[in-house]
Structure 1
Amino acid sequence: MTAGETVRGLLELTRPINVIAASVLTFIGAFVAGGVTTEPFAVAAAVAATGVAVGAGNAINDYFDREIDRINQPERAIPRGAVSPRGALGFSLVLFAGAVVLALTLPVAAIAIAAINLIALVAYTEFFKGLPGLGNALVAYLVGSTFLFGAAAVGNMGPAVMLFVLAAIATLTREIIKDVEDITGDREEGLNTLPIAIGERRALQLAAGLLVVAVIASPVPYVLEYFGSVYLVVVVPADAIMLYAAIESFEDPTAGQSHLKYGMFLASLAFIVGRLAVTVPNAL
């Protein structure tokens, strides 16, 4: 295995798209809280801490999941031999240390959120992933908390609370669908995920029901005047994509969870343009 392959494997461990997505959500949390221009250094530190921590969490997840991935995801870095298990573990620890250093530059509330999240990232695969629903809920919290972390970094969490709730529900839906997708490998490893515990169809019905709740609640930020009307223009198509993805998952969980992710990204864009419509009324 060449050095280039190893570097590529280490980068893959971090899941760069997930790192970027989480960092953007932290930025949105700070933006919605009105701190991007007033606290630029805090925002930069929070965004960087989020990206590094997510990369660390993904790397250690692959370390703990290496045997399951030999069945479900054999093309990943550890199963295909690009990175050794020990190398993945060491890499994740370095990234975790970097995230801690960055987080310590932020206000106390942000440090508290970071501490909880770092512990959760380490504990997820080893202790929570195989517990029906609990692992899914933990991941949902972690994704939603990126909004809170960004807002806490600039000292104003209030406007980000609803974003946390909506993102957490949408993520919980996607995590359940992903468990349906991975059910074969999870059974091989003796995990008791939600689809295994209650059945695939019931799990998908629960996921769809949760998503309907999120869609119904999605206009709330507009009603509370956190966002302008352009938010609705963007969030309605996002809602439609996510609802379609939930229905699609009954026939094709892989496509469903992928399309749900696209809808979630579009919803994130709705948060940005919605806030811009409030802060810069003539811009949109």
Structure 2
Amino acid sequence: METIRGLVEITRPVNALVAGVLTFIGAFVAAGVPADIAAVGAAVGATVLATGAGNGVNDYFDREIDEINAPDRPIPRGAVSPTQALVFSIALMIIAVLLALTLPLPALIIAGINLIALLTYTSVFKGLPGAGNVIVAGLGGSTFLFGAGAIGQINWTVGALFLLAALATLSREIVKDVEDIEGDREEDLYTLPMAIGERKAIHLSNGLLAIAILASPMPYLQGALEIGYLVVLVPAVALLGYAGYRSYDDPTIGQIYMKYAMFAAAVAFIVGRLTVVLS
């Protein structure tokens, strides 16, 4: 029973489900109520499983670092062996690929790029200052594109959602590297905060947040979304700003607030699109 619980836990089920929700949001923002519900369901399922698999693979490669940074995770605490984690993750990825193969070409291309990114992230890019952060940001933002691609409706509004999400995710990943600097240094990982300094890394993170915040009204100003978008966006943006401020003295709190603010911003896109659909 402990092994089963550990295998579920290693996928970060909440994060995986959130990624699935973001894929659905991408489809909804692109087309309102999608006509092809089966395709959206396949895209959501593929996203959840691939995200879970990616988390498992990451824990497999990070098991020594996690003994310092996250000793309560399944592998460091002994609930799951490294081999069990890897085999389970591969199985999830195979099912995700099979689901993705049922989708149109745009979604299939996005899935292929993401699969390559997932497989090379830990082994190639994670140890390069900033490169791993960019990969994670692209993967996070691409969930929206994947949902839209599943119904063949990638458009400017979804593209804006992708860019804003990627910028915010990149900002958060930099703050997380500041948070994890002790364990990363122990394992000889050369992250961005080590390369440029923790304070400068937070400055860069907040600069990216500022760009995202300044650009966030554009979907409304372009007429793609209605006023409901701004109503929900304002508190989300305020929370993002506060998260950036808190990151200087407490990176852990800062990155947690960023996560909540990013999800609230995604909800703003739903509300803005919903008012278009109902009008």
Q: TM (normalized to structure 1)?
A: 0.96
2:235 to 234, 237, 261: 237
Partner SS for 2:74: coil
Structure 2 Cα separation of the partners of residues 73 and 36 of structure 1 = 41
Structure 1 Cα separation of the partners of residues 163 and 123 of structure 2 = 26
State the match for 1:9 in structure 2.
6
Structure 1 Cα separation of the partners of residues 33 and 196 of structure 2 = 44
Corresponding position: 1:54 with 2:51:
yes
State the match for 1:105 in structure 2.
102
TM-fit CA distance, 1:36: 3.8
Structure 1 gaps of 5+ residues are none
Corresponding position: 1:72 with 2:64:
no
Corresponding position: 1:192 with 2:190:
yes
Letter in 2 for 1:186: D
Residues 205-260 of structure 1 show CA distances to partners (whole Å, capped at 9, x for unaligned) of 00001000000000011112221101001011000001100110100000110111
Structure 2 gaps of 5+ residues are none
1:72/1:182 contact within 8 Å kept: yes
TM-fit CA distance, 1:35: 6.0
State the match for 2:16 in structure 1.
19
Structure 2 Cα separation of the partners of residues 224 and 20 of structure 1 = 31
1:177 to 150, 175, 178: 175
Structure 2 Cα separation of the partners of residues 240 and 129 of structure 1 = 31
Corresponding position: 1:251 with 2:249:
yes
State the match for 2:119 in structure 1.
122
Structure 2 Cα separation of the partners of residues 101 and 35 of structure 1 = 26
Corresponding position: 1:44 with 2:71:
no
2:32/2:274 contact within 8 Å kept: no
Q: CA RMSD in A?
A: 0.8
TM-fit CA distance, 1:37: 3.2
- Identity of paired residues, percent? 62
Partner SS for 1:51: helix
Structure 2 Cα separation of the partners of residues 79 and 107 of structure 1 = 40
Which region of structure 1 is more displaced relative to structure 2, 15-24 or 65-74?
15-24
Structure 1 Cα separation of the partners of residues 148 and 119 of structure 2 = 23
Aligned structure 1 segments of 4 or more residues deviating by more than 4 angstroms: none
Structure 1 Cα separation of the partners of residues 169 and 113 of structure 2 = 18
Letter in 1 for 2:89: S
State the match for 1:133 in structure 2.
130
State the match for 1:261 in structure 2.
259
